[in-house]
Amino acid sequence: MKTSSKIHYKGWEIVPFAAPTSDQQWSASCDIERAGADGLEVFEGATMQFVRATEDDAIAAACEEAIRQIDNIIANPLVRLA
């Protein structure tokens, strides 16, 4: 997966980013964003950093967390990401 790829989920875009670490691992996190009436709403650093042995595993872990974050926002729109 290219780290610049966006994943569409329930009207939101998940934007993963991954980078190699100094100990031959990969670290990944995701931003989430959606287009609204006032323009693009971006939640930067919506997930914590996930360190895994491969880039794909790190991105998968971060994207799973981003999906949980989106589901939480949909379930309770009054609660925003901290």
pTM attached to this predicted model: 0.83
Q: Rounded to an integer, what distance in angstroms lies between the CA atom of residue 19 and that of residue 32?
A: 18
Confidence of residue 81 (pLDDT cuts 50, 70, 90): low
The token duo for 27 is 């670290």
State residue 4's pLDDT score: 56
Residue 49 lies in a domain: yes
The token duo for 4 is 């610049």
Q: Rounded to an integer, what distance in angstroms lies between the CA atom of residue 24 and that of residue 33?
A: 30
**Could you tell me the residue range of the domain that residue 19 belongs to?**
7-73
pLDDT in tens, 26-78: 999 999 999 888 888 888 778 899 999 999 999 999 999 999 999 988 898 77
**Of 56, 2, 6, which is closest to residue 30 (Cα–Cα)?**
6
Residues in the chain: 82
Strand, coil or helix: 31? strand
Residue 82 lies in a domain: no
Residue 37 lies in a domain: yes
What's the structural domain count of the chain? Answer: 1
